[in-house]
Structures are given as structure tokens and as C-alpha cells.
């Protein structure tokens, strides 16, 4: 019995069945490489789902955390505040793309950031309603699930969900659904479902994560901003997955030049340590009464130290520029593969910066989803030592999220494995098919 198979058996006996996992039991990791308990090496194109933008065990981050651990690990910011939290808030206030004076609060998870953004929006506007979009993912709490526009695996069997949450369509150029159609449906929602003067906020991802890496068209975000302004609605940018240099800019919204009122961030913010934030315009952020925001672990000192170090790394190593180049190399390779004869199941290649995906279809005419091919590619890649993730409401998208610090030779090695895995999956000759 291998160490992995033993742990697999122990996991089944100890961990709730609803906690889905892969069978790669990690032993150690460094930058873009991970080794399992049996000594197998993997190139990591998942980065903990866009958490390790600065790589596994980034030395600058690890040093900052170790130094903080020597001082104290927890006081609760509400009981005995500390300079690191204040400094991080100052830095996030300076970079959040609202175009205004900002304030920040820190919590622990992306879902917490989303929930607090909604609380703040409701406190400021005096309204209850929130509009999210089809294909969105905003967390696994009850409110997060209510906002999420993807049933499996996130919402099935878990309702009922909180009231006053509405969904409007998100544009999808690949499937022929335009910005014009999406905005028309939003306006129809205001006529048939809910008075716009009851809506506190729109919440939207600049590039959908779980929804399939669908990029929000610039004109869509611009029109959302105009509609929000006309009705007194706030615009919340969910930057949990797209933020922290992942798309080639610090925040995904910056590609469109649209200024949100509130920004949620998590994942890549603290380089592998649990931390999230809501940053927004001062007059909005200060609408909640003192004591109304926070939490016991909100802004944990170790995570805050990591986040301050992450911002240093992003700046000093020019990771926005590097993300753009990582994405250019990935996209060029995928487009080259897709252009070859026999690669017709690759229906679309899309993304921003180093947040890239390709969608698998039965054929490019019907664009019918091919989730079985998607699963074969991921299994084949894992067998060959490459970690990939799927996404998409049709479960047919492969997403690529390598650390932004990945060495060029490791990136090229990973792309070669990806290409071989695609070829094997399409031919049905791979090890995963044989298994």
C-alpha cells in the first residue's frame, strides 16, 4: 500500500463525504512545484485556486510570517489592535480602483468579504435587494450561495436561501449571448421582478471564476456603472479570484476602466494564509455603526504580515507585468494547439493575464458541452504530473492558474505536459482512458 492510498482510506473514514478532494496528498511544495507523500512531483497550475499567486512558500512571505510569529499570533483586533492591520488597510485604500478616498476592513474568507460588502451596501443605501449574475460564484455561506449563479455543486439540497437576491444574465460571447441582451434582461428585471429603488447593490466578477473564466465585456461593466448611478445602486467588484495581479493588473476591473464602489478580495491577498478584505469609498464604508463589522479572527496578525509581504513582492518583482507575460505564453500555446487538425474540441481560449481557460465542446458548430473530455484531460494531466482544475456552469472548462512567480522553464514544461495530455485525452489512448 502506498502512503497516498493509505491516506485515501483514512480520509474516507474520517472526513465528511461532502468535502470533495483530489487524491494528491501534499508533502511539500516550492513556488510552482508540489510533491506528494509518495515523492511524486507535480507542476502546479492551480496555485491553491489562485491563492498562491506569489508561489508556494515565497521566501519574503515566509520571513514576514516567521517574524510576526515571534511577536504574537493573535490578540483579536477589536481587543488589542496592531500596526500591521492599519498599514495593510492604508495600502489597500491606496490601490483599490474606486477613484475615491477609501477605507478597509479585514476578515478571513472570500465569502466573509462578500457578506460584509452586502451588509455595508445595505447600511449605506437603506435598501435590501442585491443583484448578482448567472454563472457567478460568491461563496458557500447561505448568502454566498444565494448570490452564486451555479447550482452544482454549490447550491443543490442546501436551500432555502436568503430573500431579496436576484439574478440577471451575464454576457457570454462564445455562446452568442451579448452585452446588449444581458442589459435588456436586467432592465426587464426592473420592470417585472423588482423596483430598482429596492436594490442596494450589483455584485459582479470582472472575470468569472467558477462560471468558466468568462470575461466581463468592458461595455457591460460600463453600462452597469451607468445603471447603478441612475438608480442610486452601489457596484461591488468581487475580485476574490481575479485580484492581486492575477489578470495583469492589480484588479480585474482596471482592464475596463470602471470604478466600483466596493471591492472584495481574498485568495491571493495573503500568499496562502487566510485573509480577506472589503475596501471601498469612505462614505460608504463608514455607514455601518461601530461594532457592526469584524470577527474574532478578522485580520489575523500572521495573515496580515503575509499580505503586507505579498504586496511587497507584487511591487518589487513586477508581478502584474509578469502575469501578463505568463498569460501571453499560455494563450499562445493553447491557440497553437487549437489550430491543429484534430483539436476541434477546443472551442474557445479566453482569459485575462494569467487567468486563462479553454472550453471543451463536442464540435465548434453546435458548441455542445463536452465535460467528459474535460475530465479526461484533467485526469491525464494529473497522471503525468500536472495539476489542473475545471470550472464552468456546463462543467466543460479547464482553467490554468499557475503562480505568477513560476520559473519560465517550469511553465514550458507544464505546457508541454498539458499538450500531451490533451492529445492523449482526445485520442482516448492515454493512461487515464486505460484505467
Domain boundary among 294, 316, 338: 316
pLDDT of residue 429: 52
Q: What is the percent of the chain with per-residue pLDDT over 90, rounded to a whole number?
A: 94
Residue 33 in any domain: the answer is yes
Residue (of 291, 301, 277, 349) closest to 71 by Cα position: 301
- For the chain, the straight-line distance linking the first and the last C-alpha, in angstroms and rounded, comes to 18
- Mean pLDDT throughout 339-362? 97
Residue (of 384, 383, 412, 418) closest to 400 by Cα position: 418
Q: Are 353 and 326 in contact (CB under 8 A)?
A: yes
Domain boundary among 260, 294, 316: 316
Residue (of 271, 243, 213) closest to 31 by Cα position: 271
Residue entry with cell 455561506? 141
**Residue 240, H or E segment:** none
Encode pLDDT of 109-162 as tens digits.
999 999 999 999 999 999 999 999 999 999 999 999 999 998 888 988 988 899
Residue 62 in any domain: the answer is no
What confidence category does residue 193 fall into, taking pLDDT thresholds of 50, 70 and 90? very high
For Cα atoms 299, 305, 307, give the angle at the middle one, nearest 5 degrees. Answer: 80
Residue 90, SS3?
helix
What's the grid cell of residue 153?
A: 455543486
Question: What is the rounded distance in angstroms from the CA atom of residue 28 to the CA atom of residue 38?
Answer: 11
- Whether residue 283 is found in the same domain as residue 390: no
- Mean pLDDT throughout 228-233? 98
pLDDT of residue 427: 87
Cβ neighbours for 176, distance < 8 A, ≥ 6 positions apart? none
For Cα atoms 205, 209, 211, give the angle at the middle one, nearest 5 degrees. Answer: 95
- Whether residue 195 is found in the same domain as residue 123: yes
Q: Are 161 and 146 in contact (CB under 8 A)?
A: yes
pLDDT of residue 433: 43
Average pLDDT, the chain: 96
Residue 263 in any domain: the answer is yes
Question: What is the rounded distance in angstroms from the CA atom of residue 239 to the CA atom of residue 356?
Answer: 16
- Whether residue 215 is found in the same domain as residue 358: no
- Mean pLDDT throughout 384-397? 97
Question: What is the rounded distance in angstroms from the CA atom of residue 208 to the CA atom of residue 205?
Answer: 5
Q: Which domain holds residue 53?
A: 3-57+318-434
- Whether residue 293 is found in the same domain as residue 389: no
Relative orientation angle of helices 408-427 and 319-338, to the nearest 10 degrees: 30
- Whether residue 357 is found in the same domain as residue 424: yes
Task: Compute the radius of gyration of the chain from its Cα atoms.
Answer: 22
Number of domains in the chain: 2
Residue 64 in any domain: the answer is no
Encode pLDDT of 252-262 as tens digits.
999 999 999 99
What confidence category does residue 432 fall into, taking pLDDT thresholds of 50, 70 and 90? very low
Encode pLDDT of 54-69 as tens digits.
999 999 999 999 999 9
Q: What is the percent of the chain with per-residue pLDDT over 70, rounded to a whole number?
A: 98
- Whether residue 80 is found in the same domain as residue 41: no
CATH number at 157 reads: 3.40.640.10
Residue 194, SS3?
coil
- Mean pLDDT throughout 373-402? 97
What's the grid cell of residue 66?
A: 516567521
- Whether residue 295 is found in the same domain as residue 419: no
Question: How many CA atoms within 13 Å lie on the side-chain side of 325?
Answer: 12
In the predicted structure, residue 434 carries a pLDDT above the cut 50: no
What confidence category does residue 430 fall into, taking pLDDT thresholds of 50, 70 and 90? low
Question: What is the rounded distance in angstroms from the CA atom of residue 180 to the CA atom of residue 217?
Answer: 11
Question: In Å, what is the CA distance from 100 to each residue of 26, 279, 364, 391?
Answer: 43, 11, 45, 34
Question: What is the rounded distance in angstroms from the CA atom of residue 6 to the CA atom of residue 333?
Answer: 38
Residue 417 in any domain: the answer is yes
Question: What is the rounded distance in angstroms from the CA atom of residue 417 to the CA atom of residue 300?
Answer: 39
CATH number at 430 reads: 3.90.1150.10
The length of the chain in residues reads 435
- Whether residue 173 is found in the same domain as residue 277: yes
Amino acid at each position: 500500500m502506498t502512503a497516498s492510498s493509505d491516506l485515501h482510506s483514512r480520509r474516507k473514514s474520517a472526513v465528511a463525504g461532502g468535502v470533495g478532494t483530489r487524491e494528491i496528498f501534499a508533502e511539500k511544495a516550492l513556488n510552482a512545484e508540489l510533491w506528494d507523500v509518495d515523492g511524486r512531483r507535480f507542476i502546479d497550475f492551480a496555485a491553491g485556486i489562485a491563492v498562491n499567486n506569489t508561489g508556494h512558500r515565497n521566501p519574503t512571505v515566509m520571513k514576514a510570517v516567521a517574524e510576526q510569529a515571534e511577536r504574537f499570533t493573535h490578540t483579536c483586533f477589536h481587543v488589542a489592535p496592531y500596526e500591521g492591520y492599519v498599514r495593510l488597510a492604508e495600502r489597500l485604500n491606496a490601490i483599490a480602483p474606486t477613484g475615491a478616498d477609501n477605507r478597509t476592513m479585514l476578515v478571513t474568507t472570500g465569502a466573509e468579504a462578500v457578506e460584509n460588502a452586502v451588509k455595508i451596501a445595505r447600511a449605506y443605501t437603506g435598501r435590501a435587494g442585491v443583484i448578482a449574475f448567472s454563472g457567478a460564484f460568491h461563496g458557500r455561506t447561505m448568502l454566498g450561495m444565494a448570490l452564486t449563479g451555479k447550482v452544482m455543486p454549490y447550491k443543490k439540497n442546501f436551500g432555502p436561501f436568503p430573500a431579496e437576491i436576484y439574478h440577471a444574465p451575464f454576457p457570454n460571447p462564445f455562446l452568442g449571448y451579448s452585452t446588449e441582451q444581458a442589459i435588456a434582461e436586467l432592465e426587464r428585471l426592473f420592470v417585472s421582478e423588482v423596483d430598482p429603488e429596492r436594490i442596494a447593490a450589483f455584485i459582479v466578477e470582472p472575470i468569472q471564476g467558477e462560471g468558466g473564466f468568462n470575461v466581463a465585456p468592458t461595455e457591460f461593466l460600463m453600462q452597469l456603472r451607468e445603471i447603478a448611478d441612475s438608480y442610486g445602486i452601489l457596484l461591488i467588484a468581487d475580485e476574490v479570484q481575479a485580484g492581486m495581479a492575477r489578470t495583469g493588473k492589480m484588479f480585474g476591473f482596471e482592464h475596463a476602466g470602471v470604478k466600483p464602489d466596493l471591492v472584495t478580495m481574498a485568495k491571493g491577498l495573503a500568499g496562502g494564509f487566510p485573509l480577506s478584505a472589503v475596501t471601498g469609498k469612505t462614505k460608504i464604508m463608514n455607514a455601518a455603526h461601530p461594532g457592526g463589522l469584524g470577527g474574532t479572527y478578522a485580520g489575523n496578525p500572521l495573515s496580515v504580515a503575509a499580505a503586507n509581504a505579498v504586496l511587497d513582492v507584487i511591487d518589487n518583482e513586477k508581478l502584474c507585468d509578469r502575469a501578463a507575460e505568463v498569460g501571453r505564453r499560455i494563450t499562445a500555446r493553447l491557440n497553437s494547439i487549437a489550430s491543429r487538425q484534430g483539436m476541434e474540441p477546443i472551442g474557445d481560449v479566453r482569459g485575462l493575464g494569467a487567468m486563462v481557460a479553454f472550453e471543451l465542446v463536442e464540435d465548434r458548430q453546435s458548441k455542445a458541452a463536452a465535460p467528459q473530455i474535460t475530465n479526461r484531460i484533467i485526469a491525464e494531466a494529473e497522471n503525468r504530473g500536472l495539476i489542473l482544475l475545471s470550472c464552468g456552469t456546463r462543467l466543460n472548462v479547464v482553467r490554468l492558474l499557475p503562480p505568477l512567480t513560476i520559473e519560465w522553464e517550469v511553465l514550458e514544461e507544464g505546457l508541454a505536459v498539458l499538450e500531451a495530455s490533451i492529445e492523449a485525452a482526445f485520442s482516448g489512448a492515454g493512461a487515464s482512458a486505460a484505467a
